Structure 1
Amino acid sequence: MGLCSRFTCMRCSDCCYFSDLRDMPVLLPHEVYYYKILAEHLGVKLEFTRLESGLYRWVIRGYCSFYDHSTKSCRIHSEKPIACRMFPLLLDVSGNKLMVSSQCSWVKKCSQGVMSISSSEDVASLFPGEYEALCELLTILYGVESIMAVAVKSNNIEVTLSVLGEKCSVIRVLESNIVKDLYLLLLADCTSD
């Protein structure tokens, strides 16, 4: 398999440096809550601006607060926001368009293969992990009536899940590797009783 047959992060840090507001990541409300907790724990400051859509723009001037220059990696890599996990795929929610970022060094190097994308199967084949994150985002954005994501700080997650399990289907539980007793829950089909 050649370099351009499947997306591989080149650790260039282009996706972690921002000078234009339009290029900054857009987060879901539950992600903002979750990353504020992580930032507080790691001693960094984050800034968010609420958008008309109800989503939030993560305002980053220069390098992301979570970017580690010495290792050229993300300090929260295993817990990155969906927008970061999707990169270099970009979703224009207002226009329902999927784009590929030209800021990415891999995309620049492999532009011929990227330009030949003509179907979702091509996207999934070229960007498998990023496509999976995109599908997660689409499920949350367009399945809002039946899917809900929440961040929970609990020292007894079993009890929390038991209570939530009576009202919702628990789809996924992600435990933070950074903040003790912090969980991100993806819930479906919640009832109000």
Structure 2
Amino acid sequence: MSIGVGKFTCLHCDSCCYFEREEQGPLVFSDEVKRLRRLAKERGVELTFREVKVNGVTMYRWVILGYCPFYDRGSKLCTIHAVKPLACKMYPLLFNPRTGEVVVSKDCPWVEEAVKNGGVSLSDFPEEAKALRRVVVRLSKGGLNN
């Protein structure tokens, strides 16, 4: 199977783990902030979060400038992959909770190639769509983790 055809496969390129501006940082739920802070403390890393209200739900912008502190540049892997936030699990799907719009990140090389080869659909991202659904459900329940 060639790149950008069929089901999404991460190419481990780092596009999703490098942030040039604060507003690019993932939006995370309060329980995710607690988990991330615990993991960061274990590794001696400081994290910054800014509170954001999203349709009445308190969320947090994870402020990352440069590489995510949990991204291993040597192996090009997420060191907290199994417990990373939903915003990270759903990438390259991007969700605007204010409008309900879902787009696919053009920063992802797999997506870029898929678009050249005829386009993408939500069915190309089954695992990422599951994470997206969890975000939508949680937002509809006031951010609660059910």
Residue 116 (structure 1) shift:
5.1
Using the alignment, how far apart are the partners of 2:102 and 2:62 within structure 1? 20
Question: What's the RMSD between the two structures over aligned residues?
Answer: 1.7
Asked if the contact 1:82–1:133 (Cα under 8 Å) also holds between the matched residues in 2, the reply is yes
* Structure 1 residue 127 corresponds to structure 2 residue 128: no
| Residue 86 of structure 1: aligned partner | 90
Asked if the contact 2:72–2:78 (Cα under 8 Å) also holds between the matched residues in 1, the reply is yes
TM-score (norm 2): 0.89
What are the residue-to-residue correspondences of 1:22-33 with 2, within 5 Å?
22-33=23-34
Asked if the contact 1:16–1:64 (Cα under 8 Å) also holds between the matched residues in 2, the reply is yes
Residue 22 (structure 1) shift:
2.6
Which shows bigger deviation, 82-91 or 33-42?
Answer: 33-42
| Residue 35 of structure 2: aligned partner | 34
Residue deviations 1:43-82, cap 9 Å, x none? 1111101113221100001000001111110110111100
RCO higher in structure (CA 8 A, sep ≥6): 2
Gaps of 5+ in 2: none
Based on CA coordinates, which of the two structures has the bigger radius of gyration?
A: 1
Secondary structure class of the residue paired with 2:144:
strand
* Structure 1 residue 67 corresponds to structure 2 residue 71: yes
Using the alignment, how far apart are the partners of 1:37 and 1:49 within structure 2? 17
Runs of 4+ in 1 over 3 A off after TM superposition: 112-117
Structure 1 pair 113/89, CA: closer, same or farther in 2 (3 Å)?
farther
Q: In the comparison of the two structures, how many residue pairs are matched?
A: 142
Residue 128 (structure 1) shift:
0.6
Residue 101 (structure 1) shift:
0.8
Using the alignment, how far apart are the partners of 1:70 and 1:97 within structure 2? 34
What are the residue-to-residue correspondences of 1:1-193 with 2, within 5 Å?
1-3=1-3, 4-53=5-54, 54-112=58-116, 115=119, 117=121, 123=122, 125-144=123-142, 148-149=144-145, 186=146
Structure 1 pair 114/66, CA: closer, same or farther in 2 (3 Å)?
farther
Secondary structure class of the residue paired with 2:132:
helix
Using the alignment, how far apart are the partners of 1:21 and 1:100 within structure 2? 20
TM-score (norm 1): 0.69
